[in-house]
Structure 1
Amino acid sequence: MAPRRSHRKSRLGCIQCKRRKIKCDETPPPCGNCRRHDIECEYAIRPETRTHTPESISGDVGTTRISNPQLPAGNVQPHSHLSVAPTTTTTPTTSTSSADQLDIFSTFMGTNLRFTSDLHLHDLELMHQYTTQTYRTLSNNNEHEEIWKDIIPKEALEHPFLMHGLLALAALHLIECNPDENETRRKYIELATMHQHLAVSAFRPELSNITISNCNAVFAFSSLIAVLSFAFSRFVGTASTGEPVAEVLQDFFLFRGVEGVLTSFFDFIQRGKLGTLVRRAENTGVGIILSKDIIDTLDYLHGCNSPSATHSSAEEKQAYNYAIRELRISFERPPLGWETVFRWPVVLPESYLALLKSRKPMALVILAHYCVILRRLDACWWSKGWSHHLFKAIYRSLDISWAPLLKWPMQMIEYNENMDGHI
């Protein structure tokens, strides 16, 4: 009987071939068998970590592989007679395919999960704009800046209407930074329009259900309303339609509505993280002494509304006197705080707003004097030129007989009746 041929076992094959009890060709994964069957191939010891040279001495795991170029092929001396000097050890050479190089990323990925990207890059761009630039333009008070930068964006994460408001404002700010009419500017106009619509649509239901949990977000958004309104009119809205009085009147009603709804929550807000915004300048600052020209102008305005004036009824005169008196108080507020600009619209009587809505001449004249206070915001990108734009609309709508009452605000606004400029 012929002697049984010895079998040289290899313990270096892939795990899959060992399980199937078939011979593995030990090529870099996948091996030939796994490649044919299209199955995962895994080695306990990766083949590329082993030395593969023609002169290698094969053996079991752990066998030292030595080559001696001075010996003829096939004549390998026993280890005890090897000369150390001429013997060289072949450095393993790793030949890794691009697929193998990328295989390391599989350790960071789930095997059975299917993910899709939901990055809204435009919105991320807008939030970056807000947190790096836009927040600085919402107040000239350093303490307020920190609130607009850190606290309010965190609040917006829980209240979508506030988040949309911040993104709309950032888009409007980017329009200001891109004055040329191009595709980029049109993109920001579209984003501003979308976020403004989403913000207002989501904000309206909140006004009828203000609670402890949302009052801070409602107050923050209400503080943004004026900025959004002025900026939207400048860049996107109807500022060029020739009816800025209607727009500013709409803003007045909006300011007053939010102010009234939040009144019962002011104490809570003041004790909270937005408290600094509630403590307005008129509550902490000292009134300024009015200049003689302002005093004389307001006295003249009040005199033109005296009982002897024939252009108004007694009820109208009473509403006008109230508006003039509050206008004087607003002039006395320190001009450093932008928030003082919005005091007058909030404290006006309903009767005066009704007269303004009807475009009564005296109501428009008083509004023209308010433009001097509104001009304090000309340094802001979001309201630059609005006082001039509003005064021009008032001036052009009144009969020439009212011109003497408009002389002082015209000088303060630096308006020339021959100018045709736009905001």
Structure 2
Amino acid sequence: MAVTSVRRDASSRELACTYFKAPAARKESTLSTSPAPLQSIVAPPEATYHANQPVSCHGSSPPNFACLRELELMHKFSTETYLSLCNEPTDQHEWQYVIPRKALQHDFLMSGILAIASLHIASTLDPPEALSYIDTALEYHNHAFAPFRQALDNLTPANCDAVLAHSLPQLAREENQSMTENIIVVFELLHGVSKIFTISRPWLQGKLFTSRRGFWEDQLSILDSEIEAALDRLTALNNDVLAPDKADQHHIIKNAIALLRRCFCRYNHARDVASILAWVATVDKEFVHALRCRQPLALLVLIHWGVLLQELDEKVWWAKDSGTALVSELLNALRPCDDFEAHTLDQLLRSYPRGHRVSQLLHELRTGNAYKSSS
């Protein structure tokens, strides 16, 4: 959906809404009409409409379903959902007022906003009530695709802020994807956001993208001894398994661990969403390739990031239970792996001190308790 004053780049700064665990949609939509953009309610009569959009809501007839749904979604976004896109309080004005107003000029951005709000509502409901909102979100997402693609291929000073704002929160979850596959897609999406920011950086005007500096400069905290020891053990395992005769792979894993250490350290100081998502946005593409190839050490590094991701469980609706689901899935994938001696992985997981948030999740998942409770 999604992460340096974008600090180092936009993707490591404003990625508050990458949908790690968006609800799965039905294969066929039940809505009979495509969602109408909000301009059908608030834009002047002379506004130009696409031919495939529903009839305007204006007139003496009672508001139809699409119009009421639009109003409901915009109310949800402007009163609640926008907060889940903010990394810090200073972002709130931009997401609540500036970006929605900019969306009146860019149909794809308005569709993106309404899709996010619809998923937010769906996350609070039980099936079958949630399915209608999931369908609505997917329809808005599909409605935004073509105009967004066109704007992306033709970045200008007039549309770059809207393109970047729409790029940050992306609907990345597919019904048939595992959590690991979903996270890999998120990696690739956020690297794409970084490219958009690089191209449009001289033109950006919004405070979200231009007002801050030095994403890593505020890194004042020192890691507590238990997390430091956990990452040291991971580094030692990388040295033992890959350093002797696989120098390139060893270097890739080493860099990913070093970046993860910085993210743990920054989160310990800032306690913000961006500290966690920065790792996904800035890790090397070679590491993402290693994940796609299911290289065991890469998956083990991702497990450690999943523990950090769990910190978002009570902070934002779009990440709820994602850390636990990711770690449990990865541990199950690693257990039968021939590249690791079973006792080596077991010893690594055993070595985490009990009672710490890193160790608690890993030890519960190791014994199957957390996995059973989350399934």
Give the TM-score taking structure 2 as reference length.
0.71
Change in 2 beyond 3 A, CA 1:278/1:267? farther
- Aligned twin of 1:205: 150
**Is the 1:323–1:348 contact (alpha carbons within 8 Å) kept by the matching residues of 2?**
yes
- Aligned twin of 2:320: 384
Give the partner amino acid of 2:292.
K
- Aligned twin of 2:55: none
- Aligned twin of 1:214: 159
Change in 2 beyond 3 A, CA 1:421/1:328? same
Indicate the SS of the match to 1:224.
coil
Indicate the SS of the match to 1:304.
helix
**Is the 1:288–1:332 contact (alpha carbons within 8 Å) kept by the matching residues of 2?**
yes
- Aligned twin of 2:372: 420
Aligned positions of 1:98-247 closer than 5 A:
120-139=67-86, 141-178=88-125, 180-182=126-128, 184-225=129-170, 228-229=171-172, 233=173, 237-238=174-175, 241=176, 243-247=178-182
**Is the 1:392–1:415 contact (alpha carbons within 8 Å) kept by the matching residues of 2?**
no
**Is the 1:159–1:217 contact (alpha carbons within 8 Å) kept by the matching residues of 2?**
yes
Change in 2 beyond 3 A, CA 1:284/1:244? same
1:64-113 deviations in Å (ceiling 9; x for gaps): xxxxxxxxxxxxxxxxxxxxxxxxxxxxxxxxxxxxxxxxxxxxxxxxxx
The reply to whether residue 264 of structure 1 matches residue 199 of structure 2 is yes
Larger mean CA deviation between 185-194 and 200-209 belongs to 200-209
1:9-48 deviations in Å (ceiling 9; x for gaps): xxxxxxxxxxxxxxxxxxxxxxxxxxxxxxxxxxxxxxxx
Aligned positions of 1:273-292 closer than 5 A:
273-275=206-208, 279=212, 282=215, 285-292=218-225
Separation (CA, whole Å) in 2 of partners of 1:382 and 1:150: 21
1:374-394 deviations in Å (ceiling 9; x for gaps): 122112111110010111110
Separation (CA, whole Å) in 2 of partners of 1:330 and 1:283: 9
Change in 2 beyond 3 A, CA 1:420/1:204? farther
- Aligned twin of 2:272: 337
Q: How many residues align?
A: 296
- Aligned twin of 1:405: 348
Separation (CA, whole Å) in 1 of partners of 2:241 and 2:186: 33
The CA RMSD measured in Å over matched residues stands at 2.6
- 1:311 shift after superposition: 9.1
Separation (CA, whole Å) in 1 of partners of 2:121 and 2:288: 34
Change in 2 beyond 3 A, CA 1:312/1:171? farther
| Unaligned runs of at least 5 residues, structure 1 | 1-113
Change in 2 beyond 3 A, CA 1:217/1:312? farther
Give the partner amino acid of 1:212.
P
Change in 2 beyond 3 A, CA 1:116/1:283? farther
- Aligned twin of 2:232: 299
Separation (CA, whole Å) in 2 of partners of 1:312 and 1:403: 24
- 1:268 shift after superposition: 3.5
- 1:199 shift after superposition: 2.7
- Aligned twin of 2:246: 313
Greater CA radius of gyration, 1 or 2?
1
Give the partner amino acid of 2:254.
N
- 1:276 shift after superposition: 5.8
Separation (CA, whole Å) in 1 of partners of 2:309 and 2:179: 13
Give the TM-score taking structure 1 as reference length.
0.64
Separation (CA, whole Å) in 2 of partners of 1:275 and 1:172: 23
Change in 2 beyond 3 A, CA 1:262/1:173? same
**Is the 1:371–1:387 contact (alpha carbons within 8 Å) kept by the matching residues of 2?**
yes
| Unaligned runs of at least 5 residues, structure 2 | 1-57, 336-341, 353-357
1:220-259 deviations in Å (ceiling 9; x for gaps): 112212xx43xxx4xxx42xx5721111001100000111
Indicate the SS of the match to 1:248.
helix
**Is the 2:87–2:274 contact (alpha carbons within 8 Å) kept by the matching residues of 1?**
no
- 1:280 shift after superposition: 6.4
Identity %: 29
**Is the 1:171–1:192 contact (alpha carbons within 8 Å) kept by the matching residues of 2?**
yes
- 1:365 shift after superposition: 0.2
Separation (CA, whole Å) in 2 of partners of 1:282 and 1:130: 27
Q: Which has the higher contact order (CA 8 A, sep 6+)?
A: 2
- 1:284 shift after superposition: 6.0
Larger mean CA deviation between 319-328 and 331-340 belongs to 331-340
Separation (CA, whole Å) in 2 of partners of 1:223 and 1:172: 15
Separation (CA, whole Å) in 1 of partners of 2:76 and 2:214: 28
Separation (CA, whole Å) in 1 of partners of 2:285 and 2:208: 29
- 1:312 shift after superposition: 7.0
